[in-house]
Amino acid sequence: MTHTRRNALGRGLDSLISLGEVQTAGSSAISEIEISMIEPNPSQPRTTFDAGALEELAASIRELGVIQPLSLRSLPGGGYQIIAGERRWRAAKAAGLHSVPAYVRTASDSEVTEMALIENIQREDLNAIEVALAFRKLIDTYNLTQDRLSERLGKKRATIANHLRLLKLPAEIQLGLRDRKIDMGHARALLAIADTKTRLKIYNKILEQGLSVRRVEQLAKQYSESAERTPEKTSSSQATGGYEAFQRELSNYFPTPVKFTRNASGKGSITLKFDNDDQLQRLVELFEKIK
């Protein structure tokens, strides 16, 4: 009986994106490639490989082999570089295999980077920070808007915006999210806190006490309410400094409450509040129109 082998990567590489119209060649058949001739992709967006999960995959490969082929490209000096499938390659080496099934594609350096990013994002193999960095790299490399990236990846605009916001967190918290010491829910709750010291204080409480996402949300709300109860002591005229008309115009333009403060020395702030992701999304869209 003849079996037709399906491209196991599915939409991950073949049909999900047309940035730069990536063209591949020589990828219609699967070849057995010696592991010793393969090297990893230095632009691989995935930076961490869980040792336990890798060993589980290696055990499965010892029993069943590599079911899903890798995607490689030929190197000018000989050998191959991984486009997608580094985790399978590592596990196959650990399992003692001498060769792996692979599609050999023709791709430039930029196309390899692009395909590696897309394949990992679509397979949801990356942690939240790696996804955020991948989104940022795609936006910067191809000069995309969040809307355009949303269309290309088939991801909701809010999903992309929420991940990109994670990059505003202090490095210590980003590392904790990367290492899965906290999850996405914790990180989003921490983003609701403006003060960096308070963010780090609550982050350390999460690690020490195992706080739930709900509890962190409550702490963030308490902090915000406390900050609002202790505003800068200025008179009404000092607070606006004669800019009442400007404040009214801002309030009419934005779909959320606008707080305008200004002290006697001229220092102040304009604060836009939002109650949910939908309101935040509308604010982001308005700012992009302004830009």
In whole angstroms, how large is the CA radius of gyration of the chain? 25
Contacts of 208 (CB under 8 A, 6+ apart): none
Q: CA dihedral defined by 156, 158, 161, 167, rounded to 10 degrees?
A: -100
Q: Is 86 a catalytic residue?
A: yes
Contact assessment for residue 117 and residue 134, using Cβ atoms and an 8 Å cutoff = yes
CA-to-CA distance for 7 and 70, rounded, in angstroms? Answer: 10
Among the options 21, 39, 56, 86, which is catalytic?
A: 86
Residue 111 parent element (H or E) = helix 109-123
Q: CA dihedral defined by 223, 270, 286, 162, rounded to 10 degrees?
A: -30
Contact assessment for residue 270 and residue 258, using Cβ atoms and an 8 Å cutoff = yes
* Amino acid, single-letter form, for residue 3: H
Owner of token pair 């399978």: 88
CA-to-CA distance for 135 and 141, rounded, in angstroms? Answer: 10
CA-to-CA distance for 199 and 179, rounded, in angstroms? Answer: 18
- Pure H helices in 143-212: 146-153, 157-166, 171-178, 184-191, 196-209
Q: Which residues are catalytic?
A: 86
